[in-house]
Amino acid sequence: MDMNILAVGDVCGSLGVDTICRVLPGLRKLYSINYCVVNGENANGSGISPDNAEELFTHGADVITLGNHSWGQRNSLVYLDECRYILRPANYPPGSPGRGWGIFDGGFGDICVINLIGQFKMDNFADNAFFEMDRLLEKPEIKACKIILVDLHAEATSEKVAMGQYLNGRVSAVWGTHTHVQTSDAVVLSSGTGYITDLGMTGARDGVIGAATADALSRFLGTPRDKRTPPPPPGKLEGTVFTVNTETGKCSAVQAIRVE
């Protein structure tokens, strides 16, 4: 049996959260989505609050992944320990709040979701994501999962592409997050792993990767503003649908989507 898995690109600010609330429930119906993973590390601008996370869960996210702003909201650190459905990068130091992977009921069997962070121009204290994946894939409980999904939050496209090839045939899907620009390389790799270099972003359609245009331009023009302003509507949602066989764990189709 096939199931449709939706991965949603970085939710940015209150407009991104509002867009999820407005668009995601209908999107799940339109694409017959069985399971949805949302990257929410910018839902509060920098980081995610417990209230942000609960809104995303209420409106269709089954699991939330994070990234380099995992600790951006200090009031969320206890929440990361308490809520098993929100993940921070697994290759962070062992004592970090929360967890980097989880096994969840996908309706058609167990689904393992793994969150990673890249090393190039990212957090220097993170371990090598490739070695971390080797360690995780040796865990008996992960080995027992047919469907394994990986969110690599990384700056370098080469690092993301390399991870896709490294995990080709070993996991069901690999996608990149962080750069907020959707790439055009959604594909089923040669050994049955679904892949896209970056899901894109959920937030302001007309801003600059989630920021208000005037704020972003001020940095490039050398005229920094005293106060940042939230970007105005309309919002957009970007992500990718992966069709995965529940018996083999192989991906048979990948479709990048964008909805306003």
Q: Write out the catalytic residue numbers.
A: 69
**How far apart are alpha carbons 51 and 64 in whole angstroms?**
13
**How far apart are alpha carbons 67 and 69 in whole angstroms?**
5
Q: Which two tokens stand for residue 239?
A: 């992500």
Positive or negative: CA dihedral 37, 41, 44, 50: positive
Q: Report yes or no: 215 and 191 within 8 Å, Cβ to Cβ.
A: no
Considering only CA atoms, which of 11, 51, 60 is closest in space to residue 31? Answer: 60
Q: Report yes or no: 52 and 203 within 8 Å, Cβ to Cβ.
A: no
**How far apart are alpha carbons 180 and 250 in whole angstroms?**
27
Phi first, then psi, for residue 196 (nearest 5°) are -150, 140
Q: Report yes or no: 180 and 210 within 8 Å, Cβ to Cβ.
A: yes
**How far apart are alpha carbons 49 and 72 in whole angstroms?**
9
Strand partners, 258: 238
The H or E element containing residue 58 is helix 50-58
